[in-house]
A and B are shown apart, each in its own frame.
Chain A
Amino acid sequence: MSAILTVDDSASIRAAIKIALSSEGYNVTEAANGAEGLDKASAGGFDLIVTDLNMPVMDGLTMIRQLRARPAGAGVPIIFLTTESDADVKAEAKAAGATGWLTKPFEPDQLVRVVKKVLAK
């Protein structure tokens, strides 16, 4: 089953994501900020990363950029969470190398749908 890394500074969001995705049978690992996310992701083995953009220590955009520069990060789908629906943030994140996005607040099934959309079967 696919392994998913969720990177978010909010424990409740991480928990919500974990519950939603575990119930679909995904194996979910948590990271509390971009740096921790980068460490865990660089080890490889994740099929998908769901990350927030605004985080302490290292923000999501930086994490995505650094990750894309490493072999372990090439080709792994990265979904970012955003409250802003404006195109600039999306464009910036896309330019950094993100695969797709999910607008907060979201329902668990919306998350699952997006995850299934980008996860290779």
Chain B
Amino acid sequence: MSGLDPIETFRQEAQELLEQVEQGLLDLAHRPGDRDLIDAVFRGLHTLKGSGAMFGFDALAAFTHHCETAFDRVRKGEVPATPRLVACVLSAQDHMRALAEGRPVEPGAGEALLADLHAAVEGGDAPVGAAEPAAPDARKWKIRFSLPADALVNGARPLPLLDELRDLGDCHVRVVTDDVPMLEDLVPTECHLAWEVLLTTPHGRDAIDDVFIFVIDEMTLEVEELTASRDLDNPMAEAAGSPSAVKAEKSTETAAAQDTRAAKSGETVRVPAERLDEMMDRVGELVIAQSRLKQLASSSLDTALRAVAEEIERLAAEMRDTMMVVRMVPVIQLFGRFRRLIHDLQNDTGKKIDLHIEGETTELDKTVIERLADPLVHLVRNAADHGLETPEQRLAAGKPEAGVIRLSAVQSGAEVLITITDDGRGVDRDRVRAKAEENGLITPGQVLTDNELLNLIFAPGFSTAATITNLSGRGVGMDVVKKTIEGLRGSLDITSNPGQGSVVSLRIPLTLAIIDGLLIRVGASRFVIPLANVEECVELSPAQDLRSTGRSLITLRDELVPFIRLREQFKTGSAPDPHQKIVVVSTGQDRVGLVVDQILGDHQTVIKPLSGFHADIGAFSGATILGDGGVALILDIPTLVHLGQRHDAQMRVAG
């Protein structure tokens, strides 16, 4: 699985993205107002742009940027997703496909497409093949109007008026319902609504007055011109005759050289993740059935049956191992991409960035890796864009000129901990608060803990980027990051020290995997401890048990280890076995002893996730079905270790 050419990987990814965008666009043609579809198309374009820039498909990234900008305006409700716009983006998509595959494109084809797109967004006439459509100076107007009470009876209609305003230019409408009376006082034939319209139009005041010509004498109409600003980059500014156009030709040359490699791609089979999941499930069931067979066979005297049972045991184990190998890939696949990204980010931002990568050999489920790619790109971009300062600022702050972004992956038990650390300026909390208030995420003056405040960054629609750059999100990144991580049943957290940088930690569970576990009994229930966490098992003699009553520390080879009596923790209400055992588990640096009644042996465990009702019970990470058909819960070691350490700390304080 490893050793795939990243360029080839990107091509495959681009194909998928373009298909996703295409589906979205086609559906959008039927359901023009569907927010989810608009978001999906926008995200697809956004990701395509980001990954394209990472692998040197600069022409593709530049071109996609314009489509994305257009769709961003649709997303913000500034422009409707007209059939014409959808058609434009669809044809633009074919162009992107050609760029992604490295097929030669006709010179000027991209420019013509962008001109069409621009026209579709602006609702104007498409300048045919013009290299530089003159974008007229747009003026911004703020219009507030309400109609007289009898306007509706007299045939005046607000909707056509609003449509006419929309025809004048980019238009954002808000309805004002302040004057709507209570239901008993409401006269159905009267118009109680007012509208606020933000209009960006090349037309003057006369055009606006013309819209209202029939009602202007009776209505209240306030029109004020806002200071002119052109926040819309001219889509043609960088398309024609720019370096990117030259690069496009270059990339077609390299593509020709890679044809031989493309022919080899037939040897890899891309399998939909759900098929792998299904297979994994089957293997899991097989392992369970096999352990039942083993139990039956072991109590039988039939040697032939026992031989077959052993054979099946061996096959099932191999099958499981193969399946794991199929699914697990080292995170280097994921992290390898970022060298190029950092290289480009340095060029784009003018910042000096050192990338440190740790734990590249940590393995993760393939589907997890694939789904982590986008969030990580966003997080690294954010760290470079918002976190790190310019070299001058760093020197002024007494830091080394080059900022450091550290990507690390560590497996700890049934989880992989991925952290993205930067040593930049840290999160500007005042700015986060101001931005969140501005976007209505929190009410002004709302009291928040520091952690809550920091986590606002992951709220939908939040973005601190003042300008749209090619780098940072438009508020698309962080909320999607959070969604994706939560979709993997992981968690994400951010800590930040002003002036010293930020750390974003992702805890990704190794979902849907088979692990080797240690089967134990506490009271009448059985539990599984992931074998990877188990360090040793020692006997807890009754004498020791008595001595340590009220204390929760045991001396192991001259080292004090806190321990937890699971019997008390799980309130089994039964008397302890005469020969209790301590299973010492660790999560890398911390060790805790778990006091159990009996150790039953090792057990291959198929992790079944807990239901939504139980998902937040911290002490268990899942459940498994045992050979006799019974159920055992899988202990979540990090939680227990944390608990033991805290317990220990309390005891020390109580001293």
Where the two chains meet, the residues of A that have a C-beta atom closer than 8 Å to any C-beta of B are 68, 74-78, 91, 94, 97-101, 116-121
Contacts and interface: CB of A to CB of B under 8 A. Distances in A.
A116 B167 CA distance: 13
Interface in B156-186: 156-157, 159-160, 163-164
A94 B160 contact: no
Contact of A91 (B152, B153, B156, B217): B217
Given A68-B154, A100-B214, 7 more contacts: A74-B189, A76-B155, A77-B155, A94-B218, A97-B153, A100-B213, A117-B160
B160 A75 contact: no
B217 A94 contact: yes
A119 B154 contact: no
A78 B155 contact: yes
A77 B159 CA distance: 13
A44 B157 CA distance: 18
Interface residues of B, number: 16
A97 B218 CA distance: 12
Contacts of A74: 153, 189
B156 A119 contact: no
Given A119-B160, A120-B157, A101 B152 contact: no
A117 B218 CA distance: 18
A95 to B, nearest CB: 9
B344 to A, nearest CB: 47
A99 B218 contact: no
B217 A77 contact: no
Contacts of A119: 160
A25 B217 CA distance: 32
A121 B153 contact: no
B250 to A, nearest CB: 49
B154 A98 contact: yes
10 contacts: A68-B153, A74-B153, A75-B189, A77-B155, A78-B154, A97-B150, A99-B155, A100-B213, A118-B155, A118-B156
Nearest to A78: B155
A77 B153 contact: no
A27 B99 CA distance: 50
Nearest to A114: B214
B160 A99 contact: no
Contacts, number: 48
Nearest to B163: A121
Interface of B is mostly: loop
Contacts of B218: 94
Contacts of B213: 100
Interface of B: 150, 152-157, 159-160, 163-164, 189, 213-214, 217-218
A8 B153 CA distance: 23
Question: Which 10 A-B pairs have CB atoms at the shortest separation, nearest pair first?
Answer: A77-B155, A99-B155, A100-B214, A97-B154, A120-B157, A74-B153, A78-B155, A99-B154, A76-B155, A99-B156
Contacts of A97: 150, 153-155
A99 B214 contact: yes
A49 to B, nearest CB: 8
Given A100-B213, A101-B214, A117 B164 contact: yes
A36 to B, nearest CB: 20
A94 B164 CA distance: 21
Contacts of B154: 68, 78, 94, 97-99
Nearest to A68: B153
B217 A118 contact: no
B171 to A, nearest CB: 15
A3 to B, nearest CB: 15
Interface centre among A101, A119, A120 (most CB of B within 10 A): A120
Contacts of A76: 155
A74 B150 CA distance: 10
The residue in A74, A76, A116 that gathers the most chain B C-beta atoms within 10 A of its C-beta is: A74
A60 to B, nearest CB: 14
Contacts of B164: 117
Given A99-B214, A101-B214, A118 B160 contact: yes
A75 B159 contact: no
A115 to B, nearest CB: 11
Contacts of B160: 116-121
A15 to B, nearest CB: 24
Contact of B159 (A78, A94, A100, A121): A121
Contacts of A99: 154-156, 214
A98 B155 CA distance: 7
A101 B217 CA distance: 13
B207 to A, nearest CB: 13
A77 B163 CA distance: 16
B156 to A, nearest CB: 6
Nearest to B210: A117
A94 to B, nearest CB: 7
Contacts of A75: 152-153, 155, 189
Contacts of A116: 160
Contacts of B156: 77, 99, 118
A24 to B, nearest CB: 15
B152 to A, nearest CB: 6
A99 B158 CA distance: 12
